[in-house]
Amino acid sequence: MTLFMLYVYLAGLLLLTHLYDCSVASTIHTEHSTAAPSCKRWFEILDDLQYNVFGGGKCGDPARKALRLTFHDGIGRSAALKASGRFPGGGADGSIIKFADVELEDPANTGLEDIVYVLRSLADDHGVSYGDIIQFAGAVALSNCPGSPRLAFYAGRAEAIAPSPPKLAPFPTDSAETILSRMADAGFTAEDTVALMAAHSVAVQKIIDPSAVGAPLDSTPEAFDSQFYLETLLRGTSYPGKGRSAAEAKSPVKHVFRLASDAALARHKSTACYWEAFVGDQERMRGSFRKAMEKLANQGHSNLADCSSVIPAPKPWNRPPKLPRGKNVSDIEQTCTAVQFPPLA
């Protein structure tokens, strides 16, 4: 190859790279011009997240961990502690990153270590608060999962002043009553609680049963949908692994993992009707989840800037829930008798 030909070849590569970069930028930043000036920095952070953390915008393990982290940071808030004169926690204030040496010792936060340190580095690099980076990363992560709602994102949280009080995150071994009491103490209704469980529709288990690592919590973990709510109502028959933990309940689908707490909430008198309603109404499920997540992210904060336009629009997913192969309506353990169970495919 002559020097001239090499020059032409390299110039062509540079041009293709430039065109590719422009294409990516135009896809991601279509709403850049309409964003508030204080929000525009988040487009650069979006690129960093998508390409360096979420594998090019995938609904994979890093995205799942980021979504889980939004809850574990935000749930650190207690009206009962405040009423007793003790520090109530700052909610979605980033304390799980700032005080990682304390909060990651809580067994409820096991498995979040990697994403905590990744997001700490990202926040430090871009000069944003830890509370903001957690909620932003969670909203972006969810947008990578087809069928999800486009979450709101508000920026401007102050840094945490102290670690969250311990034992504020519910455990999968907790009873439905214990979970609902804890959630009410944090400002959430029974419907909010059921709605937040929708995050489990894209979840997999990594910690509870080492013999079933990677087992999804429903049969469509690639999508944010109400299949999770349907399958959790089906009579359990087996475990995907050895099934020796009190945190696990029998599942109706061989390769699917069921949390004991999900099974309890699906059948409890205070939550069953909400649970069953989501089976037949995915739009209601999405709307309720979006509302509950906005409450989780913003309680206790004020004067935040609405930067929701930075969050990408998720891809649609319109498949209705359906009974797994070999199952029929007699396998549904229906607790709510106030309404008729929705028709199924």
245 is in an annotated binding site: no
Confidence of residue 14 (pLDDT cuts 50, 70, 90): very low
Could you say which of 32, 72, 126, 255 is catalytic?
A: 72
Confidence of residue 25 (pLDDT cuts 50, 70, 90): very low
pLDDT at position 81 is 98
Kindly give the residue spans of alpha helices, DSSP state H, lying in the chain. Answer: 3-28, 41-52, 61-74, 79-83, 95-98, 100-103, 113-126, 130-143, 176-185, 190-196, 227-233, 260-267, 272-279, 282-298
pLDDT at position 300 is 86
Q: What is the pLDDT of residues 161-192, one digit of tens each?
A: 999 999 999 999 999 999 999 999 999 999 99
220 is in an annotated binding site: yes
- The arithmetic mean of pLDDT across residues 146-160, rounded, is 97
Q: Which SS3 state, helix, strand or coil, does residue 40 take? A: coil
What would be the CATH architecture of the domain defined by 38-331?
Orthogonal Bundle (1.10)
End-to-end Cα spacing for the chain = 62
pLDDT at position 15 over 50: no
CB environment 172-189: b (16+ within 10 A), e (fewer): bebebeebbebbebbbbb
93 is in an annotated binding site: yes
Average pLDDT, the chain: 91
Q: What is the pLDDT of residues 97-120, one digit of tens each?
A: 999 999 999 999 999 999 999 999
Q: What is the pLDDT of residues 38-56, one digit of tens each?
A: 899 999 999 999 999 999 9
pTM, two decimal places: 0.89
Residue boundaries of the structural domains of the chain? 38-331
Is 72 among the catalytic positions? Answer: yes
95 is in an annotated binding site: yes
Q: Tell me which of 16-30, 48-62, 63-77 is least confident.
A: 16-30
- The arithmetic mean of pLDDT across residues 111-130, rounded, is 98
